[in-house]
Amino acid sequence: MTLHAHVVGWGKYVPRRVLTNDDLSRMVETSDEWIRTRTGIRERRLADEGETTATMAVEAARQALEVARISPAQLDLIIVATVTPDHLFPATACLVQDALGATHAAAFDLSAGCSGFIYALSVAAHLLEAGAFQTALVIGAETLSRITDWSDRATCVLFGDGAGAVVLQAGENEGGVLATVLGADGSGGDLLMLPAGGSRWPASHRTVAEGLHYLRMQGREVFRFAVRKMPATTRKVLERAGLTLDDVGLLIPHQANQRIIDAAARALGIPEDAVYVNLDRYGNTSAASIPIALCEAAEEGRIQPGDLVVCVGFGAGLTWGAAAIRWTRPQPLPLPRYQRLLRRLYYPLAAFRSWLRRLGRRLAALWSRIAGEENGKNSPS
């Protein structure tokens, strides 16, 4: 029996707060004209104080589960691709697992820069195809605004926050994730990095004073790498799937720079209307950019059952990756009201369950302390 990993649900979340190019031009020496012509970005979304990578991931996941008509309890696996986790540990995926009440799911984070979502999709698809899991939630989520140096015009104009998610389900019918390609070149790791906060340079007065907790990038070098890698990786994934460029219904590139996207499309000979772009509204949301774009394209009806979608990305590491997906799921009809209500009820119950487990753990600790003291009293001296 051959199993295939089908995309059966999709969702996204972007924060409400909008930061326009004009807003930025009041913060650093830049202009709307420079940002638009050099990057294609007009505005980006920024997380509010209470929002984190996990909270945005949960919102995107809830939508994806609703589209898939799947309950969180049916999930076996959650992968969150991110370079801006809530904490170094526990994994953001575990926070998401708890908030969703996905009580049967394994959960871990994956760090592969802006290629993270493709990496996570590839890992999940292979696990499903191998029969190890039946249903997986794959999320790309970032709060890049928290690692952005808002006084550095070379980087602060580029990035935004958000989350995108897909639900993958194993099935015997043909289609779904047909092929993936992943690659890395660690010799370019210094071109795009967050220097401090890890074991090399743990947080200290010096790292903070020197701004080493902010993202650093050599933009021109990354640009050159991206222009080379995007077309090559697209060709490779199509070759692996036994398909050609003529088969591509929609190309969903990582949304980093309009000039990179245009160069890739030109090199591949793919017409503009077969390339999905939402970079103008969200900027570069790293691992979230491809799943947000995929979700919007599906919602807008730009992807229909039978279509071949190719997602291709590049990013910190350096890393790159592509996925060829044969779409098999039609746009779902809206859920009946009572079903939506039942779904919404699930999440407060999950929060209550989580609270009960914490309480249970505290009571158990208290009990073992009391019991320990009693044993201590009774034990021979």
- Active-site residue set: 114, 254, 284
Residues 222-241 that bind ligand UT7 (CB under 6 A): 222-223, 226
Which range touches ligand UT7 (CB under 6 A), out of 74-82, 133-141, 219-227, 268-276? 219-227
Q: Kindly tell me which residue out of 90, 219, 249, 332 binds ligand UT7, with binding defined by CB under 6 A.
A: 219
Cα distance between residue 56 and residue 254, in whole Å: 19
Q: Is 68 among the residues that bind ligand UT7 (CB under 6 A)?
A: no
Q: Which residue's CB is nearer to ligand UT7, number 30 or number 97? A: 30
Alpha-carbon gap, residue 292 to 167, rounded angstroms = 13
* CB of 22 vs ligand UT7, minimal distance in Å: 13
Q: Specify the residue, 4 or 12, whose C-beta has the smaller distance to ligand UT7.
A: 12
**358 part of the interface to ligand UT7, by CB under 6 A:** no
Q: Where are the alpha helices (DSSP H) in the chain?
A: 21-25, 32-39, 53-68, 92-100, 116-129, 153-156, 205-209, 219-241, 258-268, 279-282, 289-299, 337-378
Helix (H, G, I), strand (E, B) or coil at 163: strand
One character per residue 127-156, x = contact with ligand UT7 (rule: CB under 6 A):
--------------------------xx--
Question: Under a CB-based contact definition with an 8 Å cutoff, are residues 293 and 114 in contact?
Answer: no
Q: How many CB atoms lie within 10 A of CB 277?
A: 18
C-alpha separations of 270 from 8, 94, 223, 252, 323 in Å: 27, 39, 20, 12, 17
- Under the binding rule (CB under 6 A), the answer on residue 36 touching ligand UT7 is no
Give the closest residue to 169 by CA, choosing from 192, 131, 136: 136
Should residue 39 be labelled a site residue for ligand UT7 when binding is judged by CB under 6 A?
yes
Q: How would you classify the pairing of strands 17-20 and 250-253?
A: unpaired
Q: Is 157 in the site for ligand UT7 (CB under 6 A)?
A: yes
Comparing CA positions, the residue from 234, 226, 233 lying closest to residue 251 is 234
Nearer to ligand UT7, 30 or 92 (CB): 30
What angle is formed at CA 77 by the lines to CA 350 and CA 74, rounded to 5 degrees?
Answer: 55
Residue 322 touching ligand UT7 (CB under 6 A):
no
Encoded tokens for 212 = 């080493």
- Closest separation in Å from C-beta 101 to ligand UT7: 33
CB of 333 to ligand UT7, least distance (A): 36
d(CA 301, CA 156): 33
- Which of 20, 34, 36, 129 binds ligand UT7 (CB under 6 A)? It is 34
Binding track over 166-195 against ligand UT7, x by CB under 6 A: --------------------------x---
Q: For ligand UT7, which residue of 47, 179, 256, 303 counts as binding (CB under 6 A)?
A: 256
Q: Of 117, 110, 213, 220, give the one whose Cα is nearest residue 162.
A: 117
Can you tell me which of 32, 36, 38, 184 binds ligand UT7, judged by CB under 6 A? 38
If one asks whether residue 257 binds ligand UT7 (CB under 6 A), the answer comes out as: yes
Minimum distance from residue 256 beta carbon to ligand UT7 (Å): 3
Residue 265 Cα to chain centre, angstroms? 23
Task: Mark the segment that binds ligand UT7 (CB under 6 A) among 59-67, 160-168, 177-185, 216-224.
Answer: 216-224
At residue 227, the 3 state secondary structure works out as helix
Asked if 21 touches ligand UT7 (CB under 6 A), the answer is no
* Smaller CB separation from ligand UT7, 114 or 288: 114
CA 96 from centroid of its chain's CA atoms: 13
Give me the residues that bind ligand UT7 (CB under 6 A), please.
30, 34, 38-39, 114, 153-154, 157, 192, 217, 219-220, 222-223, 226, 256-257, 284, 286, 315
